[in-house]
Structure 1
Amino acid sequence: MRPIFLRSVFRVAIIATPILLVLHYFITHVLALIHIFFQHPGIAITQREVANAYLNGTLQESRKAPQIPKIIHQIFHNWKDPANETLPSDWDQQRHTCIDINPDWEYRLWTHKSSLAFLSTHYPTFLPAYLSYPHPVQRVDALRYFLLYHYGGIYLDLDNGCLPSIKPGSDSLDALTYFPLWITDGGRGALSNNILAARPNHPFWGRVVAELIEGRGALPLGSLTERLAGFWKRWWCLWGVLRYVEISWGVGQWFIGGAWDEYHRMLQLGQDVMTGKTVEGVVVDEEVSGRLYRLMMDNRPGMDEWVFFTQGRGGTWHGWDNWLFLEIGEHLWIFSMVLASLVGLMGWLARRYWRAQRGKGYRKVKSEDMEDRSE
């Protein structure tokens, strides 16, 4: 009986070990994904709060001088015809709402040609990764981070425009230049990368740029072994079937949300945000520690008003799975409970299988047999 029992245990171990490893990998990645949809660190500010502080002068008094240079960046890559740099009429009108009411600002529209020239000149080691992204929108995502790190300024997607100035005699975006860095928060869990701002060489964008140069989200274009490794790396998005997942988690807004949380975690631990080494004497304070700002931009009815920006036609890169993750963001607790139930069900099925395997090789003894043996 012992050999039979040992064989059963060995058989269960052979089957269960790879299943448990896959489950561990899957669950840890899902938990990391869920974390992106919860409350993020940093200092949340509404557009109205910024506007009021600018109008009454407290923003200028506390900050002394603007930190973000007056540069507006936008990117237009015509994916179907890269040589055609003519913008759709609605996007062209949208961008002029920013150009016309910010006359003291420099405006830069980055096309395919100018984007490649910028990266070739300043970040040539990133070009192979940049050109290998499986989705064209990933190049637009990555480029904006390099532009903010290198030049600073405010980046806007082409489906975003600007509202009139809140103060006569000043440009509409001037109030937003007094912070070292801010990112937009749509209030639905995941942070957004549609409107971003920073001073040049900010360490947050330094960390992001360094990770992208190392190949984050890129596909290897070298040997067959490297290509096969790159193919395997895409399993979590079902090799591009989950398009929204691959774009968002690769170099998009989910990636930025994770980088944001990690940056603040390192600040809390007193670590250098570039090297990860502990720095003595770090004071955790809203200003001294370098905590960053989340500019609230929730466009749902009843939420804080938009004072500086508008929203137009967008989502040109969205796929079929976009609505799925929008619903997850809206009903995160329900999704979490469903996920926990599925994990519990899998555990229960595994336990039943284990008990069934243990029972093999044994014969149920009838009461008559026991009576015969006792006589």
Structure 2
Amino acid sequence: MIPRVIHQTWKDQDVPARFLDAQRSWQDAHPDWEYRFWTDEDLAALVRERAPELVPLYESYPEAIQRVDAARYVILREFGGVYADLDLYCLRAIDSLLETEVVLPRTTPFGVSNQFMLSVKGHPLFHHAVASLPRAYRKWGRVWPRHLRVLTTAGPLFLTGRVREYGVTEGMRILSLDEHGHGDPEVSYVAHLRGNTWAAWDTHVINFLHENWKWLVAGAAVSAVLLARFL
């Protein structure tokens, strides 16, 4: 069974006001659960103590979000429980998810997300994820733009790759988009606030293209027809 402990992180103890209600929502929905809050300093100490082989890579990551992403996998490998980003609001108790071994949410446009993860302590998937971090950085650490580099070295695309390598086994559950807050609120466990605290210009460009690609394609098609007709 997945342990009844909730893990959340921020760079320090001063959580921004816009995230406080969401942070409290996890504790309010699970009053009898253990709650563990990790600062960047706590995460660095965890890696030094529990994953010393990662220290050179961890300290060399150019982006803070890469360190946070990597540390999430160490947390779940070492302790198990639930990890949730601070920009996720808990809509209902998640006790019904604890009877399996690993729970990961489907995300758009494909793959799984690492912003909301549940696991038993020591699950092989997270051993595999932690062990794969150096390989992923060697392969993707110089990729441009920055957004893609973050996603592939330790973020959601990295985790998606590890799930594909490990396989979705009998003890794993992949939440639907509706359950992950991308559809029907009646079945969702979480609601998404506007987060992306690590986002830069390239993130906003990529998000714009993802959200508006149908209109962009349609506009390009109309433009091509008009040009062909009048030129």
Give your verdict on TM over 0.5.
yes
Tell me, yes or no, if structure 1 residue 293 matches structure 2 residue 177: no
Cα distance in structure 2, aligned partners of 1:152 and 1:251: 18
Matches of residues 121-270 of structure 1 in structure 2 within 5 Å? 121-164=49-92, 172-212=93-133, 214=134, 216-217=136-137, 234-237=141-144, 242-264=145-167
SS at match of 1:175: helix
Matches of residues 1-375 of structure 1 in structure 2 within 5 Å? 67-78=1-12, 85-164=13-92, 172-212=93-133, 214=134, 216-217=136-137, 234-237=141-144, 242-264=145-167, 287=170, 290=171, 292-298=172-178, 299-300=181-182, 303=184, 305-326=186-207, 327-328=209-210
How many Å apart are 1:158 and its aligned residue? 0.5
SS at match of 2:69: helix
Q: Closer, same or farther in 2 for the Cα pair 1:236/1:121, shift >3 Å?
A: closer
How many Å apart are 1:323 and its aligned residue? 4.0
Cα distance in structure 2, aligned partners of 1:331 and 1:312: 23
**What per-residue deviation string (whole Å, max 9, x for no partner) do you get for residues 177-228 of structure 1?**
111101111242132111001101111111111112x45327xxxxxxxxxx
SS at match of 2:201: coil
Q: Which has the larger radius of gyration?
A: 1
How many Å apart are 1:235 and its aligned residue? 4.5
SS at match of 2:114: strand
Q: Any conservation in 1 of the 2:142–2:149 contact (CA below 8 Å)?
A: no
Cα distance in structure 2, aligned partners of 1:330 and 1:145: 32
Task: Report 1 or 2 for greater relative contact order, CA contacts < 8 Å, sequence distance ≥ 6.
Answer: 1
Amino acid at match of 1:204: L
Structure 2: 5+ residue stretches without partners: 218-231
How many Å apart are 1:234 and its aligned residue? 4.6
Amino acid at match of 1:253: P
Equivalent residue, structure 2, for 1:48: none
How many Å apart are 1:330 and its aligned residue? 7.4
Amino acid at match of 2:104: I
| Aligned-CA RMSD value | 2.6
Q: Any conservation in 1 of the 2:103–2:118 contact (CA below 8 Å)?
A: yes
Cα distance in structure 2, aligned partners of 1:121 and 1:259: 24
Cα distance in structure 1, aligned partners of 2:104 and 2:173: 6
Cα distance in structure 2, aligned partners of 1:146 and 1:321: 28
**What per-residue deviation string (whole Å, max 9, x for no partner) do you get for residues 258-313 of structure 1?**
1111212xx8xxxxxxxxxxxxxxxxxx63xx5x3211235455x46443222223
How many Å apart are 1:253 and its aligned residue? 0.6
Aligned residues with identical type, % of pairs: 30
How many residues end up aligned between the 2 structures? 213
How many Å apart are 1:128 and its aligned residue? 1.4
SS at match of 1:189: coil
Cα distance in structure 1, aligned partners of 2:120 and 2:23: 22
Cα distance in structure 1, aligned partners of 2:182 and 2:125: 29
Structure 1: 5+ residue stretches without partners: 1-66, 79-84, 165-171, 219-229, 268-285, 336-375
Q: Any conservation in 1 of the 2:104–2:114 contact (CA below 8 Å)?
A: yes
Give the TM-score of the pair, scaled to structure 2.
Answer: 0.82
Q: Any conservation in 1 of the 2:40–2:68 contact (CA below 8 Å)?
A: no
Deviates more, 1:312-321 or 1:250-259: 312-321
Give the TM-score of the pair, scaled to structure 1.
Answer: 0.52
